[in-house]
Amino acid sequence: MRLSLQPLRSKPLPSLAGLAIGLSLATAWILYVTHLVHTSTVAGTPAHWASRARREAYGVCYDGCDDDCLDVWRIEDACAVTAEPRIPDVICDASRMWLWANRYPDECLLAVGALFKEKELRGRRFRLRFLYLLTALAGFAGYGAYKGVEYLGPRVGAYRRRRREAARARRRHEDDGQRRTSATTPLLRATTVTTALVSVLLFSVVAEGYPCTSHHAVYNQPFVSLTDPSLFGNIHGWLSNCYTERYACGETCEDDDNHDRGDEKGHTRRKCTTEYCDRERADTFPAEYVRRAGELVKGCGFKMVDYVPGVVDRRVANPRIEGTLWVRIGVNRFNGSEGVERGVLCLGDVVAWPGHRGGRTGKGMGDGGEV
């Protein structure tokens, strides 16, 4: 884009007036948006944000997904948020408090709530900054449209002419092609079948696995302590491992416009393109993930049974259990007559905790009694 001073020299007053008005409006808009960004706020009292912290951070870290969620990694994210506050002589990390009686200290709820509020405010300010684009977007859009029409206009016309010429060429030899179609049909069918088989074998693409819930039912495996039958639990599996498979699902053929005549045997030349489709497949099911987790649970002094005589409502709060084993492990209680059950502590350590924070090492672990 070439800038010229000719309009300014030939008509100085209108040019300067337009420049002054344009710069004034742009400056006023920028100052207005800057004011909006710096003075933006988010609604909510400290109690509101503390409630969100209890529900969306501590609640998710302690209880996991209420609805058998797909994004099990958000459990670990919720636990990580609770570890961010730094308050002297106060532990806020939910991964270290999951066995405590008071798992929701007020100081921690307020501190994590403040983090939620700050995150919401940053998002609001980020969205407001997009208003700066309006100062120049109209000019760029107009110039882009002008250059686009200038560039595409002749090419669109040439493309349409080529399409019309190709259509006329197809009509000219369509009648001749019909007479030869019966002779080429067996050859085309054989070619199509062969192409499909080769495509399936060579071009099927298997993508990386991801969790899904649409293929198999949930699976539960109760277990009970070998030394204390009053301590029992359940392994709950709801995720399957799925992948997207790309496969050859058809073929599109048309006459080759580059050949007006058939080959030496009178066969019409055809140009075929293989079409591909995607489908979701599952190769590992909830029952298999539960079986694998069951082997780890057995190592903590439990055995698998058909049923348990009570309610299992205490989740073992290591987020890596859902994140890596794709199951949820729960027990009926945390504490026994001598404090926290050793079997429960072992269940918490069946996989490494985030940041290698063991469930047994937290300050005050188990001192608060049963939750």
Check residue 195 and give its pLDDT: 40
Residue 70 predicted with pLDDT over 70? yes
Residue 182 has a pLDDT of: 45
The residues that bridge with 336 in the sheet, in sequence order, are 339
User: pLDDT digits over 108-163, tens only?
Assistant: 999 999 999 999 999 999 999 888 887 775 445 444 454 455 466 556 656 667 76
Which residues fall within 8 angstroms of residue 291, CB to CB, at 6 or more apart? 221
DSSP state of 368: T
Q: What is the mean pLDDT of the chain?
A: 78
pLDDT on residue 215: 82
Where do the domains of the chain lie?
Answer: 19-172, 205-356
Among 41-45, 135-139, 191-195, 209-213, which stretch is predicted with the lowest mean pLDDT? Answer: 191-195
| Beta carbons of 82 and 52 less than 8 angstroms apart | no
Is residue 233 left, alpha or beta, with left meaning phi > 0 and alpha meaning psi from -120 to 50? beta
- Write down the pLDDT at residue 337: 83
Cα–Cα dist 147/5, whole Å: 21
Which pLDDT value is given to residue 361? 36
DSSP tag of 206: E
Angle between helix 12-39 and helix 106-128 axes, rounded to 10 deg: 170
- What pLDDT is stored for residue 30 in this prediction? 84
The model's pTM: 0.66
78 touches 321 (CB < 8 A): no
Q: Categorize the per-residue pLDDT at 261 as very low, low, confident or very high, splitting at 50, 70 and 90.
A: low
Q: What is the pLDDT of residue 334?
A: 94
Cα–Cα distance, 107 to 245 (Å, whole number): 50
**3 state DSSP class of 25:** helix
- Determine the average pLDDT of the residues in 203-212: 61
